[in-house]
Amino acid sequence: MLVVEKNALSEEIESYVEKYGNDRSALLMILHEIQKKHRHISEFAQQEVARLLNIHPVEVYSVISFFAFLNSNPKGRNLVRICQTISCDMKGKKQVVQAIERELGIKIGETTKDNKFTVEYANCLGLCDMGPAMAINDQVYVNLTPEKAVELLSKVK
């Protein structure tokens, strides 16, 4: 990471701390902002957050590792999350997953070579009556079939 990049990131995080305060209860809001902008929270960013909130870096890492929607390592430009919980599972999640894996040529948890997609499992999205459900970035899709899932992916830029 270049020094200028580091400085820019530090400044950015400082601005979030200004906005949300430097109490440790502000941690999640700050992490969300960083995640939104950079799609991951780097080692350096985590240590900067720790420094500014006066907590330990490992505590920041612990929180990030706890939440599926926060991540430490860069992911593809688009995040596909397929519900793996019981209702969706019973409604045919497996076929949907297979179709997506085949279409993108990667396995769950992996990122496509062109960095366009990362595919993951998620736990219940709260749409159990309309399963199988999945989310592409912030948008949820329901009543999926393998064909529908593949079609949705093809529309993503």
Partner 1 sequence: MEDKKSLRAPVSQKPHVVPKPEHPEYLGGSITVEINEKKLTVPFGTTILEACKQAQIHIPTLCHHEDLCVAGVCRVCVVEVEGMRTLQASCAFPITAPIKIKTTTNAVRKARKHIIDLLISEHYGECYSCFRNNNCELQSLAKEYGVDHYNFGHVTQPRYEVDNSSYSVVRDMDKCVLCKRCVRTCIDLQEVGVLEAIDRGHNTHIGTFFDKPLAEVICINCGQCINRCPTGALRANDPRDEIWAAIDDPTKHVVIQTAPSPRAAIGEEFGQGAGKSFTGELNTALRRIGFDKVFDTNFTADLTIIEEGTELILRLYKALVKKEIVALPQFTSCSPGWVKYLEHFYPEYIDNLSSAKSPQQMFGALIKTFYAQKAGIDPANIVSVALMPCSAKKFECNRPEMNSSGYKDVDYGLTTRELAQMIKEAGIFLPEMPQSHFDDPFGEASGAGLIFGATGGVMEAALRSVIEFVTGKRVEDVYANADITPVRGFEGIRYAEIPITEVGPVPKLLQHLVPDWNWLKGATLKIAVCHGTANAKKVMEDIKAGGKFSECHFIEFMACPGGCLGGGGQPIPTNEEIRKKRAEAIYNEDKSLPVRKSHENRHVTELYDMFLTDGPCGHISHKLLHTHYVKRGKFIA
Q: Where along the sequence are the contacts to partner 1 (CB under 8 A)?
A: 23-25, 43, 46-47, 51, 55-59, 61-62, 65-66, 72
The tokens of 101 are what? 């894996």
Please report, as ranges, the residues that interact with ligand FES according to CB under 6 A. 83, 85-88, 124-128, 131, 133
Does the annotation flag 83 for ligand binding?
Answer: yes
**Which residues touch 56 (CB under 8 Å, ≥6 apart)?**
50
Query: Taking a C-beta distance cutoff of 8 angstroms, is the pair 56, 50 a contact?
Result: yes
- Looking at the Cβ atoms of 17 and 91, the one nearer to ligand FES is 91
Query: Taking a C-beta distance cutoff of 8 angstroms, is the pair 67, 107 a contact?
Result: no
For residue 89, the minimal CB distance to ligand FES (Å) is 7
- Looking at the Cβ atoms of 50 and 135, the one nearer to ligand FES is 135
Q: Which does 85 bind (CB under 5 to 8 A by kind): ligand FES, partner 1, none?
A: ligand FES
Query: Taking a C-beta distance cutoff of 8 angstroms, is the pair 71, 41 a contact?
Result: yes
What is the SS3 assignment for 82? strand
For residue 58, the minimal CB distance to partner 1 (Å) is 4
Q: Which does 118 bind (CB under 5 to 8 A by kind): partner 1, ligand FES, none?
A: none
- Looking at the Cβ atoms of 43 and 147, the one nearer to partner 1 is 43
CA angle 154-129-122, nearest 5°? 55
Q: Which does 57 bind (CB under 5 to 8 A by kind): partner 1, ligand FES, none?
A: partner 1
- Looking at the Cβ atoms of 142 and 150, the one nearer to ligand FES is 142
53-88 as b/e, with b when 16 or more CB fall inside 10 Å? beeeeeebbebbeeeeebbeeebbbbbbbbbbbebb
Binding-site residue set for [2Fe-2S] cluster: 83, 88, 124, 128
